[in-house]
Amino acid sequence: MSPEYQFGDILIKRVRNGWVAVTGSEHDENQTSVYVYEDTDSQNGMRESLSFLLQTHFEGYCQSKRQAGLKICFSEKTKEQEED
C-alpha cells in the first residue's frame, strides 16, 4: 500500500546527500511532484538545504511585508557568535 497525496500534502525525507519533498500534484490528483534539495558543499550544507526546502514549500505561511507568519532564515554563525 503506497501513500496517497492530495494537493497541499507534503512529505519531507532526509536522504544521504540532501532532502526530498514529495507533494500532491496541483494539476492531477493521481500524480505526485518530487523535489530534491541537495546539500551544499559548505560545512553547514545539510542545514542550508533544509532551510531552502522550508522557505520554498512553506512560503505561503511565511512573514511578508503586510502579513504575519513564519520567519525562516539560515545563519553561518552560532547563537554565541551572534550575541557578541
Q: What is the pLDDT of residue 17?
A: 94
Domain ranges across the chain: 10-83
Residues 70, 63: Cα–Cα separation, whole Å: 5
Q: What is the pLDDT of residue 1?
A: 58
Q: What is the pLDDT of residue 77?
A: 86
SS3 category, 73:
coil
Q: DSSP alpha helices (H): ranges in 1-83?
A: 45-57, 79-83
Question: Tell me: the pLDDT tens digits for 2-53?
Answer: 777 788 889 999 999 999 999 988 788 788 889 999 998 988 899 999 999 9
